[in-house]
Structures are given as C-alpha cells and as structure tokens.
Amino acid sequence: MAKYSNPFRALKNRNYFLFWLPQSISLIGTWIDTTLRGWVAVNLFAENKAAGFIGLIALLKGLPTVILSPACGVIIDWFGPKNVLLFTQIADALNATLMAYLVYRNVLNAVQLLVLSVVMGISQAFYLPSRNSFIGSIVPKKLLSNALALHAMIFNLARMIGPSIAGFVVEYKGLGFGFVVNALTFLPLIVSLMFIRVQKPVQQHVQRDFFADLKAGIRYVASSKVLLVTFLSSTIYAVFGMPYSMLMQAFAKSAVKTGLTGYGLIMGSMGLGALVGAMLAGSLEIDTVIKFKEERFILWIGLSTLVSFLYPPAAYVMSFLNGAAQTIFFNTANTRTQYLSPPNMRGRTMSLYALINTGGSPAGTFLFGLLANAIGIRNTYGILAFAMIAYFLTRRIVKSLQLDLESLSQIR
C-alpha cells in the first residue's frame, strides 16, 4: 500500500531549501531566455526564415549535451556536482550579460547569436547532470524522490510564468532589458551555492584516468538490470512520449482546428497536469516510488495520445493526463537512477541518463516531425500512441524485460 507524506517535506532540509528557492528564480530566467532568443531570431530574419533559425538555435543548444554528456559525468565525479553547477551558473550569467550588451548596442548578428547558443549548450551539458547529482548529494535518500518532485514542480511553474514575464518586460522595457533580467536571476543561486555545505568529492586524492573512469561508469550501468530497464523505458518515453507536447502546435492547428489561444489552453492543461503529478509524486515515500512499474505511466501517456488521435478535441483534457503521467514517470526514473548510484558514480550515471533524455527527445521530435509532413500530424500521433502501448504490452509478455517487485525488493 502506498505511503503518503507531506509533499513539501524536503524543504525542511537546510541545504535543499537554500538550493530550491533561488533555483526557482533561476528557472524562470531560463524560460525568459528561451523566449527572448526566439524573438531575437524573429527580428534578425524574414518571417519565412525565422522558424528554421529558431530550430537551429535549439539544435545548437542541445547538441553539446548529446556529445559531451558521458565526459561531463566524469568531470562531475572528479570535482563534485556543486563546483560544476556553480561554474555553469556563472557561465550562463555571463552569456546573458553579453547578450544584453549586444542587443542594447544593436550590434547582435546571426553568427554571434549562434556562437552564444553553442556556448550555452556546452554549459547545459554540464548543468543537467550536475544539478541532478547535486540534489542527490544534499538530501538523504529517503527525501530524494520528494526533492526531485519539488524541483519538477518549480520547473513547470517556471515554464508557465517565464514566457509571460518575458513578454511583459519586452513590451515595456525592450529585449535588452529582458536579458539583463535573465542575468540577474542567476545571482541568487550563485550566492546560495556558496553557503551550501556538501561533502568533498570522494576521489579527490585518487589518481585519475579519464577514459578508465568513463568506461567504469558505462560498465556500472550495463551491469545493473534495473538501471538498464529504467534507461530503456526512458528512451521509449523520450522518443515516443515527448513529441506529444513538442508537436502539439502543429496538432492543435491541423487536427484540433484551433489557433494560438486553443494551443495555449492545451499546453496550460498539460502544465496543470504536470503540477498535479509533481505534487502526487512528492507526497509518496521513496520506497513506493522506486518500486513503481514505470511502464504503466508510459501506457497512460500512450492512451492519452491515442484518445487525442481518435478525437482531437479531447486533447484539451488528455493533455492534463499526459502531463501528470510524464511528470510521475520522469520522477520515478530519475529517483531510481540516483538511488542506485553510489556517490562516486552518480555524476556518470546521471550524465548517461541526461544523454537519453536530451538526445532522445529532439531525435524523436525531428523524425516524427518529418513523418507528420508525409502522413499528417494526426496519423503520426496514432503511431506514437501504438508504439507506447506496444512497449507496455511487450514488458508484460517478455519476462526478461519486466521490472517486477521481486527484483525491486532488493533495493534497500
């Protein structure tokens, strides 16, 4: 039987509270930045070229994570997640400051924007695994699931609030001031990280061999059946589940027959579902979370996609279910990966986990976007749905891939 607790209990931990509060501000800045860079691209190019350039910016920001993730994990385990996380925040703050300067001077060009996007992408490659590893290093294991759920909650809130703030700031103060605001949102977390006490890296006096440590991380994941199955499910989720939201703008226009307002309502429904999912995941004890059969949440994502395929207007409601299921799945996979990773290996395992999510989602969105051009967006949603449902059924049929309670009971 599931055990429920205070969904905000991790905030009683001093270190986590010192991280969570300023991180909330930093995440809002991240979504402000994402919105502003898109608007900069729109202003730099003609209308028929802006969309492609926005896509190129997204690619350049995501590509370094795909390429560098395994190596980033080794660096994180060597120097500690706190130090690496602090470095990424300083780098991103400087990036935003330089963007503000170039926009204010009205000298920003396409090449500069692309270069700064690549630099931010490199920073993000270190940020994602260091952030997750850092959370795992400052809270006891019993609070890990709750801490990750609370982070998911502020992430989704920032996703809803950030673009609105960006629009307001640009309307009254201009693009340059928007980047100044983004740069300032990094400062609280930078200062707070300096006051958070963590244990020093375990291997700081051990002779380091980069490639040997990299292979050790890969071998560790490969030796764990539970981690392998979790990573497999995460791959299915990233490739087949994430395109539901990433391609929703096209689905809303073509299948639901609605405009920007309808699209906003659908995404708002998904955001609300994600918040509810985060609250639910946060209220559960970690013993319950790590024993979840995560393929069940992929089934719910698949079913919500299927209903949207069969009756497109249902997307207004199904997006709520989809958002909740995605958040609970992500929290389950993230928690289990960290729970099974020893401190001296956590950076590498979380980097491989980040590689799956960061690489799988753009790849799936790109491939199914091309497929939608050929067979239509509605039919593409049908294929996404059947793929996820088929995975769930396969996990039920093939015993070697089933993550049953007996194997999970060994996690103590």
The domain total for the chain is 2
Q: Which whole number is the average pLDDT over 226-231?
A: 89
* Best CA proximity match to 333, nearest among 321, 325, 343: 325
Q: Are residues 136 and 180 in the same domain?
A: yes
Angle at 301 between CA 299 and CA 307, to 5 degrees: 100
293 shares its domain with 245: yes
Same domain, 295 and 212: yes
Q: Whole-angstrom Cα distance, residue 233 to residue 140?
A: 26
Higher pLDDT pick, 136 / 56: 136
| Each residue's pLDDT tens digit, 63-111 | 888 888 878 888 888 888 999 999 999 999 999 999 999 988 888 888 8
Say whether both 193 and 214 belong to one domain.
no
pLDDT tens profile 170-222: 888 888 898 999 999 999 999 999 988 876 655 554 566 677 888 888 888 88
pLDDT tens digits for range 12-60:
999 999 999 999 999 999 888 877 877 777 677 655 555 556 656 767 7
Same domain, 270 and 156: no
Give me the pLDDT at residue 405, please: 47
Last residue of some domain: 197, 226, 261?
Answer: 197
Judge whether 149 and 135 are in contact, CB under 8 Å: no
383 & 315 share domain: yes
The strand pairing partners of 4, in sequence order, are 284
- Asked if residue 177 and residue 74 are part of one domain, the reply reads yes
Confidence of residue 4 (pLDDT cuts 50, 70, 90): low
CB neighbour list of residue 229: distance below 8 Å, 6 or more residues apart: 401, 403
SS3 per residue for 18-47: HHHHHHHHHHHHHHHHHHHHHHHHHHHCCH
pLDDT more than 70, % of the chain = 89
End-to-end C-alpha distance for the chain, whole angstroms: 17
0.85 surpassed by pTM: no
State the residue range of the domain holding 253: 208-412
Same domain membership, residue 224 and residue 139: no
CATH for 363: 1.20.1250.20
State the CB neighbour count (10 A cutoff) for residue 260.
Answer: 10
| In a shared domain, residues 268 and 337 | yes
The predicted structure's pLDDT at residue 411: 54
Q: What is the DSSP letter of 284?
A: B
Lowest mean pLDDT among 159-168, 238-247, 312-321: 159-168
% helix, strand, coil for the chain, step of 5: 85, 0, 15
My answer on whether 249 and 380 are in the same domain is yes
Question: Are 282 and 353 members of one domain?
Answer: yes
Query: Is 322 within a domain?
Result: yes
Residue 202 lies in a domain: no
Lowest mean pLDDT among 113-117, 198-202, 295-299: 198-202
Q: Is 85 within 8 Å of 134 (Cβ atoms)?
A: yes
In a domain, 203, yes or no: no
Q: Which of 190, 194, 167, 189 is closest to 178 using CA atoms?
A: 167
Which stretches within 194-311 are classed as H helix? 210-222, 225-236, 243-246, 248-254, 260-283, 286-289, 295-310
